[in-house]
Amino acid sequence: MYKNVWLGYLEIRATEGKRFNDLLDLEDTDSQEYIGAWGNILIISDRINEVPDIIEAGLNELGMTVVFIDKIENVNSLVEDEQLSEIVIEEANWLLASKYVFKICNKLFPYIE
């Protein structure tokens, strides 16, 4: 069921001219000035070599860019090895049921430096 779903773990920042805090849904309006974040991205693609391009295009639409891709793993393998939380599986199911091919999974973990 998940053979064409991939989970990427990566570092992102705002594209040039954008402020990273403005791109986040922050509950605290007096939060620190973040410069980037680490997070998981779910992607639908039949080929792993297309995944980085889909990630870049999806983030670009959100005003973000990739700094570093730490890893890309197949969700089917992770499910078989019981290495995914129910939240990630639910989000993968949502993505499969949607018309989208890209989704920030769960949440981003912003950093200041």
Instruction: Indicate the pLDDT class of residue 26, thresholds 50, 70 and 90.
Output: low
* Cα dihedral 19, 25, 30, 32 sign: negative
pLDDT over 90 for what percent of the chain?
A: 82
pLDDT single digits (tens) 41-50: 999 999 999 9
Tally of domains in the chain: 1
Better-scored residue on pLDDT, 29 or 31:
31
Over range 47-61, report the average pLDDT. 96
Query: Range of 22's domain?
Result: 5-111
pTM of the full structure: 0.91
